A and B are shown apart, each in its own frame.
Chain A
Amino acid sequence: MLKRRNITIPFYMDPWFWVKLMVFVIFALFLVWPFSSIIINAFKSSKVDGFTMANFEKFFRKKYYYGALKNSVGISVVPSLFAIVLGVPMAYLMTRYNVWGKKIWHVLAILSLMSPPFLGAYAWIMLFGRAGSVTTYLKGLGITIPTIYGFGGISTVLTLKLYPYIYMYTSGAMESIDSSLEECAENLGSGKLRRFLTVTMPVVTPSITAGALVVFMSALADFGTPMLLGGQDFRTLPVLIYNEYLSEIGGNGNLASAISIIIVIITLVMLLVQKTYVNRRNYIMSALRPPKEIEVHGFKRFLVTLPVFLISFISFLPQIVVCASSFQHTNYSSFTGGFTFENYQNLGSRLWSSMSNTFTYSLTAMVFIVVIGILMSYVIVRKKGKTGGLLDMLLMAPYVIPGSVLGLCYIVTFNVKPLVLTGTAAIIIISYVIRKLPYTVRSASAFLMQMDPSVEEASINLGVTPMKTFWKVTARLMLPGVFSGAILSWVTCINELSCSIMLSSGKNNTLTIEAYTNIVRNSVGSGAALSAILTVTSALILIICLKISKGKIRV
């Protein structure tokens, strides 16, 4: 073994050691530590010394609290199921038929997925709310429509916003089925429906469940929709966390911490259920011959286009409604019709400050996200082993920990020494980086996995050091993957609400927070104008990105 010594370089000479260390320090400082504080906090109470279960007892004793748990599970499970009902048929039609205007529906689906989190709820209130235009119109005809406040409304809005996850995951899987598989089933005498149910469906089921899990987690974590549509009687867990935190200001958020733990446990359980299900039936497939599009004409083509059109159009409708309303006159709390720019003119300096906050924070976060994202995906894909696996796991954390929970974590941890960050822009930027990094890492990793490692070896072999090779060749070649992931990170940063609203001290308000605050205050004109600006900004970024990446975006 003596000979071995002369070939191992000391660990501190390996640049990747420092990269790994840096990533671990970042995650330890801004994810593990804050979350551990919350866990400790949840078992403490201002009334007793030492650890106690009091917070959890209180939660499960009072209907106010455990009712919210039931509500949360309800508005997560129901949209997951309905999203499957909408997303799977849409994926099937879009991948198998020459649907008219295919690209448009695809873009609309992405746009509604990436829209500001409260937009759907807000638009629905404008149309079907107590003073909504449709409600008022129908009332004039003597028709009353069922209320959109509460369970039904929230589920509908979340379904329409989140179904694209199912659509995109499923169509991805359907495109990677080798067509010979279905042809074989046909050859063995299976009819079309039987083929779909016995061959196609089982193969894409793992992807559907993966999509459903993301829908579940997003719905469970959603803050804006239940806040606007829940009213006084229908509360969900993220809303409770926010309320508790507001009422406990000055306190230490013990009960809010306990609720956070409960919400994270629910997500973890769902994650494990989905993982065990998929592990037992994972059909890895690379399509040698992806299935061909079936050409239909005339009325048949209309028939296959209609459902896709309806789904994507209705889910996109909120963005049209909000943008259109923003040009209407208002008497402060309701729209009165006509056409005007006054809503925009009235925004004044608030617009510029919130706009500059939005862009400063999100772009600063992007710099970190891109650099850390490139390095991290390289460690995960190329430097397998324990650290890579651990990083991969840490990367799931932002999916599991809802924004409002992370917000609470930061408030509890960073308003006391040694590291006081509350009320600063830095803490919002950090929360962006931690929460939105996974989009970039996943996209970059997927890209890197398909890249031949010998290209890097060729560069090293020609005399370029490994680190220089990384920046000159690897990072350069990863750019397309990084780019499409970073755009998603960026757009979701711009639209981030649940975490930043807890971290903002008013002067740090972003466009999203400003828009949401105006809507809650019933200042409908400013709310609509700000939402419209936000929507159009996000849409423009996404459309430019889709143009550049030729429609290849992974969510």
Chain B
Amino acid sequence: MSNAVIIKDAVKKYGDFIALKGVSLDIKEGEFFTLLGPSGCGKTTLLRMIAGFNSIEGGEFYFGDRLINAVPAHKRDIGMVFQNYAIFPHLTVEENVAYGLKARKVPKAQIEPRVKEALELVQIAHLAKRKPNELSGGQQQRVALARAFVIEPSVLLMDEPLSNLDAKLRVQMRTVIKKLQRKLGITTIYVTHDQEEALAISDRIAVMKDGVIMQCGTPTEIYAKPQNPFVAGFIGVSNFLDCTMEQDGLVDIKGELKVKVPVKSTYTGPARLSARPEQLFFAEAGMPGEVQFSTFLGDFIEYEVKLDDGQNLIVNEYTKDTTEVHEAGEKVFLNFDPQRISVYEAESEEVITC
């Protein structure tokens, strides 16, 4: 049986409120898949539907080719790591990890070596006899992780597992999780609101908003080619500019700059252009503006540039590419590489560029 997770038209309702509006996903076996979005977008709701803790108001959930809609939570064979770890406070570390194995009636002789191996994998074998209240947050996190994967589940679910850790530990645990997942090859579905974490850890990401998937793709795809202004703004930083789409991929920006971009539709009319700060650069000609403010950040300098029509843009310039620092008040022209920006229809927000 394959351990792919396939979701078709999932619907979740809370009374009149529709939390998920027909979400479909195709998660491949062994993939590290992340559900990313602001709070209230439905990512945790979807995860809990997969786990079996939320009722399903519509759609079909498959593990491989097995429909699991009617399978109760305790029979789904899923490992789950909870946001606040949910360690059993009355059991020791090893008892916590052995809990799922005992429930599966694994012979006693096998339980001990498997628990030991799992604890070693997350580097807390020396804490086996401790009670949870004697552990730090990071250690509890490792227990939760070991407890989830020791049962060799077909799918591993993680609900914002790093959100309760401090910044440094978060980055460290992120690597632990990623390496472990690679090693064990378990299909993993990970929920987070932290876009940097999602980019760092995932094979693929589904960006969600208001119960709908806005874009699904690899981290690079999502960062480089956001399919709508929401994704462009949510992942990283984007500058948005009003513009007019003319024929043959010609973009007219306020009459000051005209560039040709690769397009996949024949749309003409009002549009919005998004460009990352590092894709804008200072040039001899282009959009005229004035430097408002510069911040030296070591590997790059961040500028705030006010265009002549009053709009502010963020421009990043890598220190390795330049020697001069533009001072506040300096008149400049801004330009960009037409291949690396995105243009959306103003009304429908659909992407025009390819």
Contact = CB atoms under 8 A, between A and B. Distances in A.
Interface in B69-115: 69-70, 72-80, 82-84, 86-90, 99-100, 103-104
B70 A6 contact: yes
Given A4-B58, A454-B86, A461 B69 contact: no
Interface stretch (A172-180, A209-217, A309-317, A463-471): A463-471
A479 to B, nearest CB: 9
Task: Determine the main DSSP class of A at the interface with B.
Answer: helix
Nearest to A8: B55
A465 B104 CA distance: 11
A476 B59 CA distance: 37
A6 B70 CA distance: 6
Interface string B140-175: 000010010001000000000000000000000000
A454 B148 CA distance: 13
A459 B99 contact: yes
B60 interface: yes
B318 interface: no
A452 interface: yes
Contacts of B84: 452, 454
B305 interface: no
B128 interface: no
Interface in A1-27: 3-4, 6-9
A457 interface: yes
A473 B99 CA distance: 11
A7 B99 contact: no
Interface string A446-481: 000000101101111111111001000100110000
Nearest to B89: A477
Contacts of B151: 462-463
Contact of B104 (A8, A463, A473, A476): A463
Nearest to B60: A3
A455 B103 contact: no
B103 A463 contact: yes
Contacts of B59: 3
B247 to A, nearest CB: 47
B56 interface: yes
B100 A463 contact: yes
Task: Determine the main DSSP class of B at the interface with A.
Answer: loop
Contacts of A461: 51-52, 73-74, 76, 78-80
Contacts of A476: 90
B296 interface: no
B73 A460 contact: yes
A: interface residue count bin? 20 to 34
A476 B99 CA distance: 15
B47 to A, nearest CB: 12
Given A460-B73, A461-B80, A463-B103, A3 B86 contact: no
Contacts of A463: 74-75, 77, 100, 103-104, 151
Nearest to A463: B103
Contacts of B55: 7-8
Contact of B74 (A3, A9, A464): A464
B330 interface: no
B60 A462 contact: no
With a 10 A CB-CB cut-off, give which of A462, A463, A465 has the most chain B CB atoms: A462
A4 B55 CA distance: 9
Contact of B86 (A4, A9, A455): A455
Contact of B90 (A9, A466, A477): A477
B73 A462 contact: no
A4 B57 contact: yes
Interface in B31-84: 51-53, 55-60, 69-70, 72-80, 82-84
A254 to B, nearest CB: 48
Contacts of B73: 457, 460-461, 466
Given A454-B83, A461-B51, A3 B69 contact: yes
B97 to A, nearest CB: 10
B76 to A, nearest CB: 8
Interface string A499-538: 0000000000000000000000000000000000000000
Contacts of A460: 52-53, 73-74
Given A455-B88, A462-B99, 6 more contacts: A8-B55, A461-B52, A461-B76, A462-B103, A462-B147, A469-B74
Interface of A: 3-4, 6-9, 452, 454-455, 457-466, 469, 473, 476-477
6 contacts: A452-B84, A455-B87, A460-B52, A462-B103, A464-B103, A469-B74
User: What 7 A-B pairs come out closest when comparing CB atoms?
Assistant: A462-B100, A454-B86, A458-B86, A463-B103, A454-B82, A6-B70, A461-B80
